[in-house]
Structure 1
């Protein structure tokens, strides 16, 4: 087959687009992470109860996670190259509204608009990452994903340096990040528009990957991936939300020391994301998924029972190993449903966000009832669910030479 210019561009890995979409992901998730970071300010300013704070989180999570599969379904049928920039504009509008919100109802409205921006951004951005991936789908998804992780980590730090000392109006400084993100995504949208005609050919070639699988087997594999996402996200929620409390409670370390330990875990997780995508492209995503989640189990299970230094070392190992799973899960899922990248990306990103929020709330309740040590003894069993990866079918490789 003679390649058209569009198909040629989508057959090679376009790193400039991948790095651009990763930077936009960093800016988007950095702004998104401002919302929970300013809870102490709005609680005092508005005299809110913890229940009302919880409702803000609920509204934010619902609009930023539950809408994503539906946005993805629409994008699969009608690709919208400039929807990426539109999503960032929603985030910008919500951010400005958040700065000036004078009532609880306005606060709920502002976070819902910010959440809608996330719902629009993630499915379409994942489609762009797939288009720019060429034959390195796992690596491409990892590059895209690590940008989001970086933004989530940077956001609270910047909020502590800028927003907490200077008040809620200072969130307007983050509007600059949203404007920059919209400009980057407008440029990416131009590239997306040029190659979108190649989507039909790519979908046809991708379909041969699952020609040997029945619809029942494909749906079973997707169900397995949901279980694996649950085990990973619930465990990550326990670590990101309560690892610092565990170190303080068990070893009596300072808050600063516990934060440094959490940073070591998160940094290792970022490295694991990139490594998982690269290795998955070479040896197969099924094996990365299996080794990532189940392979983290022995290190996680040992963590509650060792000394301080060993605990931190084990946390770093767990971060490296378990974080390599998500990119592999997402790419594997899109290969099961070729032509539905937006829907699948929206489903799994939305599921990831939603399970993270539910997991944090569940383990918070469990810590109040049974203590923080019990939370870590129980949560370390979650990676054992990685054994269900054995039920995933092997996907045929396509020879595109």
Structure 2
């Protein structure tokens, strides 16, 4: 197993380019993901109670959120690869905030699904352009740049469940109206970097003609498979962990705190994994991330007390430590299609997670919530096996 320095980095220390703009993008990513795909899994128990849903119908809500986001991301990624548009990020923030906030006032299940879908589309429009922005701000530290960018989104997903015990359990779904100021803050922040973004797009358009390298279709297909399996694991745990703890007699309030711990650990793993990927092989980082996840995923439903907290934290850390790695790895495989690849690595994985959540909801109705947690040890095991067949970075840059 070769963990040597990446050839594309040479002997120079990796350095970030536009730091201020990169951290601003990360902040907007935090707000976007908190308001869209981040909070929807945590809201499932409230939606379930308000609309008298079963587990399968609850999974459909998550499915709609994830699927609309996943379809929009590669679609708008392809469009923006040919015709980049600076207004896509502000549009995405507005749609995401509107859809999620309005879902708190939905009068029927079908209207809830539409509004959650609008939120998902907004998230899908935002992500490819945001990933492109991180790519242009990266300098030579591409893994670190994506880590900073992705940790904003992952932390937003982690904070989402905290809103329930903080105030949504007391206010109900109408409390989502208080997210309007947060959406406005995200819009102001994204508008502040638009001048830099427009200028960077012009420079990147000129450099794009000089990019060499062929697309690796098989490699990207295998990598997408790894991302899907990882997403099923992450989103499945985030969405159904509160139900597991309810089944064990732990209140929703504490169940959502555990979900926050799982996702916060993932945010930390995302940052550290991205930083490491600027120094050592991304392929083997990805393999280690998935392989080490397996035993902790298996242990999770079988432990209690302080040990369960430790297991949950380590599980979350490793399952998402490859998040930024897969984005950069995919960009290396399709060097001229940054938007498309970013949409696939983030968006398609999210959509697959939604499909998985629907299946998990159905299995939970059939066999019980405790049984399906055994699946979360099998999925990263299969992902680790797929990783072994990925092309090395040395082949991608030759």
Classify the TM-score, shorter chain: 0.7 to 0.9
Counterpart-to-counterpart distance in 2, 1:110 and 1:258: 26
Higher relative contact order (CA 8 A, sep 6+): 2
Counterpart-to-counterpart distance in 1, 2:302 and 2:162: 31
Counterpart-to-counterpart distance in 2, 1:55 and 1:257: 24
In the TM superposition, residue 97 of structure 1 has moved relative to its aligned partner by: 4.5
Counterpart-to-counterpart distance in 2, 1:249 and 1:54: 17
Q: Deviations over 1:109-139 (max 9, x none)?
A: 4333222211110111010011111111111
Counterpart-to-counterpart distance in 2, 1:112 and 1:244: 23
Residue 177 of structure 1 aligns with which residue? 182
One of 239, 247, 272 as aligned partner of 2:269: 272
Higher helix share: 1
Unmatched 5+ stretches in structure 2: 1-14
Correspondence 1:340-355 to 2 at 5 A: 340-355=337-352
In the TM superposition, residue 394 of structure 1 has moved relative to its aligned partner by: 1.7
Of 376-385 and 68-77, more deviation after overlay is shown by 376-385
Preserved contact between residue 95 and residue 175 of structure 1 (Cα < 8 Å): no
Q: Are residue 191 (structure 1) and residue 189 (structure 2) matched?
A: no
Residue 22 of structure 2 aligns with which residue? 18
Aligned-CA RMSD value: 3.1
Counterpart-to-counterpart distance in 1, 2:209 and 2:366: 53
Structure of larger gyration radius: 1
Correspondence 1:2-401 to 2 at 5 A: 12-32=16-36, 33-35=38-40, 49-50=53-54, 56-95=61-100, 97-98=102-103, 101-102=106-107, 106-203=111-208, 206-207=211-212, 210=213, 218-246=216-244, 258-303=255-300, 308-385=305-382, 386-396=384-394
Unmatched 5+ stretches in structure 1: 1-10
**TM-aligned CA distance change 1:254 to 1:115, over 3 Å:** closer
Counterpart-to-counterpart distance in 1, 2:44 and 2:368: 24
Aligned length: 380
Counterpart-to-counterpart distance in 2, 1:309 and 1:287: 31
What's the TM-score, normalizing by structure 2?
Answer: 0.84
What's the TM-score, normalizing by structure 1?
Answer: 0.83
Counterpart-to-counterpart distance in 1, 2:72 and 2:18: 29
